[in-house]
Amino acid sequence: MKNTLLLLLLCLVNMLTSFAQKNDQEWPAYGGDPGGMRHAAIDQITPDNVKQMKVAWTYRTGELDYYKDNEAGEKAAFEATPIMVEGTLYLSTPSNRVMAIDAASGAEKWKFDPEVDLREGYSEITSRGVSTWPGPDVVQKDVQRRIYVATIDGRLIALFAATGQPVPDFGKKGTVDLRKGVGNISVTSPPAIIGNTIVIGSSMGDNQRIDYERGVVRAYDALSGKLLWDWDPIPRHADAPGYATWEGEKVKQTGAANAWSVLSVDPERDLVFIPTSCPSPDYYGGERKGQNLYANAIVALRASTGEMVWYFQTVHHDIWDYDNAAQPALMTVEKEGQPVPAVAVGTKMGHIFLLHRETGEPLFPVEERSVPQSDVPGEQTFPTQPFPVLPLPLGVQKVSTDDAWGFTEEDKRLARERIASLRNEGTFTPPSLQGTMVAPSNGGGIHWGGVSYDPQRHLLITNINRMVAVIRLIPREKLQDEESKNESLIRAETGHQIGTPYVMKRDYLFTVDERGIIMQTQPPWGTLVAIDMHTGQLQWEVPLGFMYDPKTYPEAVNWGSINLGGALTTAGGLTFVAASLDGFFRAFDTQTGKLLWQDQLPAGGQATPMSYQLHGKQYVVISAGGHGKLRTPLGDYVIAYTLE
């Protein structure tokens, strides 16, 4: 009898284990799936039980030790979203160290250090994650899983997933030199992997001179590291499509237009979607007049050949630093009762373009509208810009003196005077010699945190910055004199724009004193938004986070916060997001926008969360390491939450 009961118990355990394993849900790519929907099809955690979420485990990367003997901490940002395959989490730190962590316990399995020299002058010190091969679109047996990391010092490294050791027959002893033939580039986003092909862009600080490196996108064989093809977003030959959209004696020196954000892929259609950025330099285009194709565009390339299939330009002749910073999100929407393959493009301008994935044709109307023109000698603004009719633009689009804000009447007076002194004609007001308000700013609108899409509720979720930039161009020969007359110009960020007649000064509509940052425009300064992508209509918008102590300013919880990092949606009807300056990790009801849960992180949460299910249990994971440029508390935490 005892033996029979024992056998029955063993059978039951085996059945439960098998059931749990069958219900495991991985997170195999940065955006959850190759198309970057950032949606977990897991419904264990719901609006009814989310308040029961607690920390399951915490992992420490040890990253802060790498900032002791250098100034890297001033720029470092822990923006990584881990991936999870076969029961293991893989992630990268700002210094590009890679860790493998047991997904159930948080125990470290291995660690790899590429020994990046943090004393170099990198524009950004961050790594948003790693990638893995083979993917679900590869039917290949008896292969060892690999992890790929691209580094800020321009290397592509392949590691064995089981050990963290470099793959000896990939490139040269596991490494491909991405700077070879291109120049001093960095990479801050994980490579895209489609079939046996790795596609990768680059990052560069592109506002210091005109002759930056080419923003070339390249594809490599995932097994050998052999270069398969490359594509330059700036046409370099007279017979190349788009060449006539670049005018000027120095136009051949123009660089950048690079894809520094995350790429998306569609294995079924053999397409890779490239979000390109502003040509160099960012704020003066007099040396590169014209429309400037294929900068500031979403470009669909044939993944097997690098051939351009279609493009959609989101900004013509960019002089506002309006890079396409968000990962294109591949989704299926309903039009006239039929499913349509689509790609959603969220932009810094607060515009969302919904395009047919196979053709690039807009699925909601887009209008070319006249925009303000430049009065800067030598500049030639493009006469129109594309505006989506639906969804309506998000974020702050125009500011008047009526929008001046501050804690005191003196604060408000100073804000009104500053706003009145600037050129201010709404979206796409060009940089000027007097100073221009750029709204939304180069930080968004929608920033690199991107968008998430819940296919059950057909809701697109994104977090918005409502911050205004102040841009002034100064004739190069007058810079010293202008700085001597205006101390605030010395404190402002400087873009030297060598090769042009002007130096750029960038500031924002806030002041800093002993009280800290004092915003000069009306709140909210950060929001979380839901849009119905079948209709294009706004479903809800709520403040995200706070920037001032609610004990001192009780209304601060309604004022929102500047934010960096994206949102995650789940089948359980929840939206998880950190990103704000207050250091909280939050859960909202996806359908209504109601805040349901929050937990204080031990460091800034400027990263995008992810979720997986393992052994029948759902986990939600966030990197909490802070952001040097935002001055949020630095740390080295990876934190997993689950139900009690």
Structure tokens belonging to residue 75: 């720029």
- Token look-up 């959609």 returns 312
CA gap 92, 99 in Å, rounded: 6
Nearest to 31 by CA among 343, 361, 465: 343
Residue 632 to residues 79, 523, 573, 595: CA-CA distances in angstroms? 12, 20, 29, 22
* Per annotation, catalytic residue among 321, 411, 454, 636: 321
Element (H, E) at 18: helix 2-22
Nearest to 228 by CA among 203, 200, 187, 190: 200
- Rg, Å, the chain Cα set: 24
CA gap 473, 436 in Å, rounded: 9
CA gap 94, 188 in Å, rounded: 9
Q: How many Cα neighbours within 13 Å face the side chain of 125?
A: 27
Beta carbons of 167 and 158 less than 8 angstroms apart: yes
CA gap 43, 450 in Å, rounded: 23
Find how far residue 83's CA is from the centre of its chain.
16
Q: Is 321 a catalytic residue?
A: yes
Q: Please give the full DSSP string across 394-418, using - where no structure is assigned.
A: -S-----GGGB--SSHHHHHHHHHH
Nearest to 135 by CA among 210, 26, 40, 238: 26
Residue 225 to residues 37, 198, 218, 229, 515: CA-CA distances in angstroms? 28, 9, 11, 12, 53
Beta carbons of 261 and 325 less than 8 angstroms apart: yes
The 3-state DSSP class for residue 366 equals strand
CA gap 534, 392 in Å, rounded: 14
CA gap 15, 443 in Å, rounded: 51
CA gap 399, 169 in Å, rounded: 57
- Token look-up 């205006």 returns 486
Q: How many Cα neighbours within 13 Å face the side chain of 217?
A: 38
CA gap 310, 242 in Å, rounded: 12
CA gap 36, 445 in Å, rounded: 19
Please list the active-site residues: 321
